Amino acid sequence: MADSGKIRTFPKDPYGGQKAENTNKARTGGLRARLLRALRRQPADGSQFRDYSLLFIILFLLGFGLVMLYSTSSYSAIVDYGDSAFYFRKQLIFTLMGLGLMVFVSFIPYRWYRVLSVPAYLAAAGLIFLIIPFGNEGGGAKRWLEIFGMNLQPAEVAKVAVIMLTATIIEREGRKELASTAGLLKPLIPSAIMAVMIWQITDNLSSAIIVLAITMGMLFVACPDYKRFVVMAGAVVVSAFLLVSYIVNAADRSTMEFRGRRILAWLDPIAYEDISYQTVQALYAIGSGGFLGKGLGQSMQKMIVPEAQNDMIFSIICEELGLFGAIGIMFMFILLIWRFMAIANNAEDMYGAMLVVGVISHIAVQVVLNISVVTNTMPNTGVTLPFFSYGGSSIFFLMAEIGIVLSVSRGIRFRKTEDG
Amino acid sequence: MGNRERESGQRRRRTAVKRFTISMQRKLVVLFLLVLLAFVGLGARLIMINRDQGQAYSMKVLSQQAYDNVTIPFKRGQILDAKGTVLADSVLVYNVIVDAYQVLDDEAYLEPTLNELQRLGIDRDAMERYIREQPASRYYIAMKNLTYQKRKEYLERIEEGIRDENDRKVPQEERYFSNVRGIWFEPGYTRTYPQNELACDVIGFANTNNVGMTGLEQYYNDILNGVQGRQYGYLDESLNIDWTTHDAKDGCTLQLTLDANIQSIVQKHLKAYNDRYANAVRKGGNGAYDVGCIVMDVNTGSIKAMAGYPFFNLNDPYNTDILVGSPVLDDTDQPTKKVLTQKDIDAMDDQEKARYLNALWTNYCISVPYEPGSTGKLYTVAAGLESGKISEDEEFYCPGFKEVDGVRIACHNTHRFLDLAHAVERSCNVYLMNIVEEIGKETYCDFRSTFNIGLKTGIDLAGEARTDSLLIPEETMSRVDLATNSFGQNYNVTMIQMAAGLSSLINGGYYYQPHVVDRIYSADGAVVKKVEPKVIKRTISEATSAKMREYCEMVVMTGLGTGGTARPYGYSIGGKTGTAETLPRGNEEYVVSFYGFAPVDDPQVAVYVVINRANQKRQGNHSLPCNIVREIMQEVLPYMNIYMDQPVTEEEREVLEQKGLEITYQED
């Protein structure tokens, strides 16, 4: 960003060479003492790091997301609820609540999560188990819990909890331990358990994949080597290829279970339009957009693409704003991730950096998966587009994650240059 | 002091904190680059989709834009009788449309919706099966012809239920009425005939597509039909659907000259005839192949009643049960002596059934040609008098036959010396043959066309037959032909031709075009057309007509004439019997008929009855139609305010009282 040239972020290694005399005290101090310490950390002399460009990007994405949500959902809102702003209003409330949460979280010292991560993980697991007796159904799967009249998606809680827990485990592990297989598995196991729970209990394969991907992203950054990750990525690609070719060559396609038919529909969406109707319609929307699109609010496909305001919102963006708008949005996401990366690289400590890496992984994976689904680059699985898709839980917890990132960025301070 | 010291103070407390190492930072940059790569790949994919498929997908999107285009049905016009009785009506009904997709939108919708569909009279299990099997169906006609009332009750129930739930603040999940989803009503009209089989041949029926199949429904199809309305929805510049409505234009209403009361009197007596003679000789057969009757106002040509037995129910025209007792048709659709049984009907295929139903729907009175027999003598006599070639004093001797060109043509009796009046009274063939011999075939044929024989009358009903191909042309007419023509054989007519032509002979010589429709009203009640009586031509002079009335009176009133049995008690009427032998001759098969009119000195109404091959051993018995005409006139004349002009004997008084008929002398 523009200001990154003027300032020098400092320090990369603020604690280098310090003795550990107070460490025990820091670890054993009471909650009150910790809070006071956290607050004292705020410098009063203006050396506090404030990333205005990040703030701008976030507010831009939020505002733009709301505009596109209104444009996309107004038709089905008026058809289903007689009120074109029905979805918009709900999303606006969640966004404002999410903003409040973001500010609140940004003031919470992120290092608390080292302690809170285990309870958070257990709480997320508990919420997922609560779905079995109390879950609300929607779209054919039980995924929601109703709390105070609002629908909560425990999978979203789980993503945040997994980021915290994985960061905690990685920080506790030594660099050498991470290099070993056991060290790699240690953070991977809790997130794998969580992923299986999400998959099996809430029947939400995509969230399970996202949880695993977040952990893998964090481990990739933390671990010193590349080899194991290249091997793992290769294994995933090969097994996916084998699975797809098995399904394609399967003798009897009619008895194949739903997911198998989804793969076939992915390879030839037009032929399996009963399954891939949504994808095909999304492709039509993308293809009909052209370079500059039909203009804001001018989508025709929003009347046809089922649930356009959810997973498929990007296709309507492509139709209304064209390649120009779509690539612009992707560019905004890249900027966001880049700013996050800057925060991670300048974080006070490794724990904060790993939290930011987790959030980066989360957002990056969701954006990439969502756009891949919409463009039929991968089989259809429900992934929402952060900031854009309709959904209270996802925007709410996304804002919480950004709050964590801001909390980490709070720890960064400038050091004025010698002549400055 | 300052920064540095504070920093160092903080540093002291955080020494054990692990750093985000350079290598990790480097790997984060790699991760960032990988994400960037993925974004670039996806961006390229977007560009490719637009480049390769942009054109095709844009077309697809446009072709999928199903702008709503709803047709609004028109109401087909009513058919009313002369007094305003509704004979044909279009009733607003609804198709019940089920949107399975919407019903399945939420599991909570299914139960209440199925309950309400069942309440509307739809099979619940079948409906549930359909919804489950076709979850994407948005338009399914679950039921047709739901009455307006039923729909209204349903809508009120739901509306009231929702209001009640709102008032009681019932939580969403416990709501019943607002969970009834995906039920729509599509308006339409269904044609009904409140009088069922009354005037079935005249009215005809319309199919579900508002196409009239027979009778008035066919003849006036375009006038009865309106113009469909349409509701267009199209997208304006800001892609809002804009609705434009073109209202439907309802069809015109027909008011007939036909009187439902007279029509029902006629149908009652045709039915009574059938009940009496059915099964008599041809076992299981109707009273005759056909019995037709026309009641007509002789001074306007307006049809008061028209019926042909057997009748069919206009609300159920495809019912084949009524065919039992009808003659079996041969390959050329001509009736045969064989009688149709239920067994025969059950064995028929659809094509065969259609053939018989077509015969049933045929209006005998306007579509079926037959030889008129002696009623045709009136034409010959009128031609003779009008041409001046014979005088009424002229006498001929009837030895019971006449030889023409070596062919011996029989009379039905030996009448000896007769003058013209008595020749008509007794219906002497020989006298008539002598008349045409005197006037010659040119004059005869001129008058034949004057009387419109063989040509369409132009009555406003579908299916009127022309019979001119069944006349012998003047050029090829032999003397024998002429002689037989004189007494109504060897040429064909339709009943309506005879009714119109004979009426002109006794009404002063005015040939009125027969018509059924009196007025046409537009949908908002304005008279669009009033049908005025239309004189097509003068056939004979007033003086000749007076003579014709006189002779016709003798046929009925003297007691010596052939039509004596046609006289209704208390009335003086005129008329002429007809007994025509059918082809092939010598089979003892006859078409018998009687044309009667009243009052005799100032004719107002004519009743013409034709019995095609009565179910009797002696089919030539002309008292059969006379009886029918008498019974009809006995009831119709008082109804039309035509007063009695003859003394009523005690016996007759008793009979009339039994029938509940009043004795109506005109009060002076």
- State how far the Cα of A369 lies from the Cα of A363, in Å rounded to an integer: 10
Asked if the C-beta of A374 comes within 8 angstroms of chain B's C-beta atoms, the answer is: no
Q: Between chains, do B13 and A26 touch, taking CB under 8 Å as contact?
A: yes
**Does B222 have pLDDT greater than 80?**
yes
3-state secondary structure chain A: CHHHCCCCEECCCCCCCCCCCCHHHHHHCCHHHHHHHHHHCCCCCCCECCCHHHHHHHHHHHHHHHHHHHHHHHHHHHHHHCCCCHHHHHHHHHHHHHHHHHHHHHHCCHHHHHHHHHHHHHHHHHHHHHHHHHCEEECCEEEEEEECCEEECHHHHHHHHHHHHHHHHHHHCCHHHHHCHHHHHHHHHHHHHHHHHHHHHHCCHHHHHHHHHHHHHHHHHHCCCCHHHHHHHHHHHHHHHHHHHHHHHCCCCCCCCHHHHHHHHHHCCCCCHHHHHHHHHHHHHHHHHCCCCCCCCCCCHHHCCCCCCCCCHHHHHHHHHHHHHHHHHHHHHHHHHHHHHHHHHCCCCHHHHHHHHHHHHHHHHHHHHHHHHHCCCCCCCCCCCCCCCCCHHHHHHHHHHHHHHHHHHHCCEECCCCCC
Nearest Cα residue in chain B from A11? B7
Q: Which residues of B touch A375 (CB under 8 A)?
A: 42, 45-46, 49
Size of interface A-B (CB pairs under 8 A): 171
Q: Between chains, do B19 and A327 touch, taking CB under 8 Å as contact?
A: no
pLDDT per residue as tens digits for the range A250-309: 755 555 566 677 777 888 887 777 778 888 889 989 988 888 888 888 888 887 888 888
Q: Which pLDDT score is estimated for A14?
A: 44
Residue A18: which pLDDT band, with cuts at 50, 70 and 90? very low
Q: Which pLDDT score is estimated for B406?
A: 87
Exposure b/e, B367-389, CB count within 10 A at least 16 = b: bbbbbbbbbbbbbbbbbbbbbee
From A3-17, A37-51, B365-379, B402-416, the region with the lowest mean pLDDT: A3-17
**Does B450 have pLDDT greater than 70?**
yes
Residue B8: which pLDDT band, with cuts at 50, 70 and 90? very low
Q: Which pLDDT score is estimated for A62?
A: 94
pLDDT per residue as tens digits for the range B72-96: 888 999 999 999 999 999 988 888 9
Q: Which pLDDT score is estimated for B2?
A: 45
Q: Which pLDDT score is estimated for A256?
A: 59
Q: Which residues of A touch B27 (CB under 8 A)?
A: 220-223
Residues ≥6 apart with Cβ < 8 Å to B221: B206, B210, B211, B212
B1, B14, B33, B235: best mutation site toward chain A, by most A Cβ within 10 Å? B14
- CA quadruple B511, B513, B514, B520: dihedral positive or negative? negative
Q: Which of the pair, A176 or B111, is modelled with greater confidence?
A: B111
Work out the minimum CA distance from B116 to partner chain A, whole angstroms.
Answer: 21
Q: Between chains, do B53 and A351 touch, taking CB under 8 Å as contact?
A: no
Mean pLDDT, rounded, for A14-23 = 44
Asked if the C-beta of A338 comes within 8 angstroms of chain B's C-beta atoms, the answer is: yes
- State how far the Cα of B312 lies from the Cα of A297, in Å rounded to an integer: 62
- State how far the Cα of B554 lies from the Cα of B548, in Å rounded to an integer: 10
Tokens of A166: 């994985």
Do A407 and A106 contact (CB within 8 A), yes or no? Answer: yes
Q: What is the DSSP string of B604-622?
A: -EEEEEEEEEESSSSTT-T
| Closest residue to B31, CB basis, from A217, A285, A318 | A217
* Type and span of the H or E element at B580: strand B574-581
**Does A149 have pLDDT greater than 70?**
no
Q: What is the DSSP string of B549-567?
A: HHHHHHHHHSSSSTTGGGP
Tokens of A165: 């827990």
**Does B237 have pLDDT greater than 60?**
no
- State how far the Cα of B596 lies from the Cα of B608, in Å rounded to an integer: 6
Q: Which residues of B touch A349 (CB under 8 A)?
A: 14, 17-20
Asked if the C-beta of B135 comes within 8 angstroms of chain A's C-beta atoms, the answer is: no
pLDDT per residue as tens digits for the range B620-664: 888 899 999 999 999 999 999 888 888 888 888 888 888 888 777
Amino acid sitting at position A335: L
A80, A110, A300: best mutation site toward chain B, by most B Cβ within 10 Å? A300
pLDDT per residue as tens digits for the range A357-388: 999 999 999 999 999 999 998 888 888 999 99
A9, A18, A144, A418: best mutation site toward chain B, by most B Cβ within 10 Å? A18
Mean pLDDT, rounded, for A46-63 = 82
Q: Which pLDDT score is estimated for B23?
A: 87
Burial label for B209, CB within 10 Å (0-12, 13-18, 19+), is exposed
Q: Which pLDDT score is estimated for A25?
A: 46
Work out the minimum CA distance from A338 to partner chain B, whole angstroms.
Answer: 7
**Does B133 have pLDDT greater than 50?**
yes
Asked if the C-beta of A42 comes within 8 angstroms of chain B's C-beta atoms, the answer is: no
pLDDT more than 90, % of chain A: 42
Q: Mean pLDDT across chain A, nearest whole number? A: 82
Do B336 and B282 contact (CB within 8 A), yes or no? Answer: no
Work out the minimum CA distance from B153 to partner chain A, whole angstroms.
Answer: 25
- State how far the Cα of B144 lies from the Cα of B95, in Å rounded to an integer: 4
pLDDT per residue as tens digits for the range A72-86: 988 888 777 778 888
- State how far the Cα of B595 lies from the Cα of B597, in Å rounded to an integer: 7
Amino acid sitting at position B135: P
Work out the minimum CA distance from B14 to partner chain A, whole angstroms.
Answer: 6
Task: Quickly tell me which residue has 């669009």 as its tokens.
Answer: B528
- State how far the Cα of A408 lies from the Cα of B8, in Å rounded to an integer: 20
| Closest residue to B45, CB basis, from A22, A221, A377 | A377
Q: Which pLDDT score is estimated for B66?
A: 54
pLDDT per residue as tens digits for the range B471-501: 889 899 999 999 999 999 999 999 999 999 9
**Does A109 have pLDDT greater than 60?**
yes
Q: Between chains, do B35 and A43 touch, taking CB under 8 Å as contact?
A: no
Residues ≥6 apart with Cβ < 8 Å to B326: B285, B286, B289, B310, B335, B339, B340, B356, B359, B360
| Half-sphere exposure at residue B38, Cβ-oriented, CA atoms within 13 angstroms | 20
Residues 224-283 (A) with a CB less than 8 A from some CB of B: 224, 274, 283
pLDDT more than 90, % of chain B: 45
Closest by CA to A283, choosing from A379, A377, A375, A373, is A375
Q: What is the DSSP string of B314-366?
A: TTSTT--GGGTTSEEE-TTS-EEEEE--HHHHHH--HHHHHHHHHHHHS-HHH
* CA A391 vs CA A226, A374, B435: distances in Å: 36, 17, 105
Q: Between chains, do B61 and A284 touch, taking CB under 8 Å as contact?
A: yes
- State how far the Cα of B647 lies from the Cα of A305, in Å rounded to an integer: 90
Q: Between chains, do A341 and B28 touch, taking CB under 8 Å as contact?
A: yes
* CA B564 vs CA B543, B556, B573, B580, B634: distances in Å: 25, 4, 10, 19, 14
Q: What crossing angle do the helices spanning A154-172 and A392-410 adopt, rounded to 10°?
A: 30
Q: Between chains, do A23 and B15 touch, taking CB under 8 Å as contact?
A: yes
- State how far the Cα of A387 lies from the Cα of A371, in Å rounded to an integer: 13
pLDDT per residue as tens digits for the range A303-339: 788 888 888 999 999 999 999 999 999 999 999 999 9
Q: Which residues of A touch B17 (CB under 8 A)?
A: 15, 348-351
**Does A3 have pLDDT greater than 50?**
no
**Does A171 have pLDDT greater than 50?**
yes
Return the SS3 of B86: strand
Q: Between chains, do B42 and A371 touch, taking CB under 8 Å as contact?
A: yes
Asked if the C-beta of B68 comes within 8 angstroms of chain A's C-beta atoms, the answer is: no
Mean pLDDT, rounded, for B9-13 = 45
Tokens of A196: 């299986």
Q: Which pLDDT score is estimated for B497?
A: 94
Q: Which residues of B touch A21 (CB under 8 A)?
A: 12, 15
| Half-sphere exposure at residue A100, Cβ-oriented, CA atoms within 13 angstroms | 6
Do B325 and B310 contact (CB within 8 A), yes or no? Answer: yes
Tokens of B6: 């504070």
Closest by CA to B366, choosing from B466, B467, B495, B453, is B495
Tell me the sheet residues that pair with B234: B242
Mean pLDDT, rounded, for B403-432 = 89
pLDDT per residue as tens digits for the range A209-220: 999 999 999 999
**Does B666 have pLDDT greater than 60?**
no
Nearest Cα residue in chain A from B22? A345
Do B557 and B572 contact (CB within 8 A), yes or no? Answer: yes
Amino acid sitting at position B414: T
**Does B665 have pLDDT greater than 50?**
yes
Is-cis flag, bond preceding B310, omega within 30?
yes
**Does B47 have pLDDT greater than 80?**
yes
3-state helix, strand, coil in chain B (%, to 5): 40, 20, 35
Mean pLDDT, rounded, for B152-174 = 84
Mean pLDDT, rounded, for B272-276 = 92
Work out the minimum CA distance from B57 to partner chain A, whole angstroms.
Answer: 5
Q: Which of the pair, B15 or A407, is modelled with greater confidence?
A: A407
Do A11 and A349 contact (CB within 8 A), yes or no? Answer: no
Q: Mean pLDDT across chain B, nearest whole number? A: 87
**Does B242 have pLDDT greater than 80?**
no
Q: What is the DSSP string of B440-489?
A: HHHHHHHHHHHTTTTS----SSTTPPP-GGGSPPGGG--HHHHHHHHTT-
To the nearest 10°, report the CA torsion of A375, A377, A378, A379: 50
Do A360 and B31 contact (CB within 8 A), yes or no? Answer: yes
Q: Is the pTM of this model over 0.80?
A: no
Residues 176-205 (A) with a CB less than 8 A from some CB of B: none
3-state secondary structure B211-277: CECCHHHHHCHHHHCCECEEEEEEECCCCCEEEEEECCECCCEEEECCCHHHHHHHHHHHHHHHHHH
Work out the minimum CA distance from B189 to partner chain A, whole angstroms.
Answer: 29
* CA B450 vs CA A370, B453, B511, B536: distances in Å: 91, 8, 9, 10
Work out the minimum CA distance from B92 to partner chain A, whole angstroms.
Answer: 28
Tokens of B315: 């609300």
Q: Which pLDDT score is estimated for B53?
A: 85
Return the SS3 of B296: strand
Mean pLDDT, rounded, for B310-320 = 91
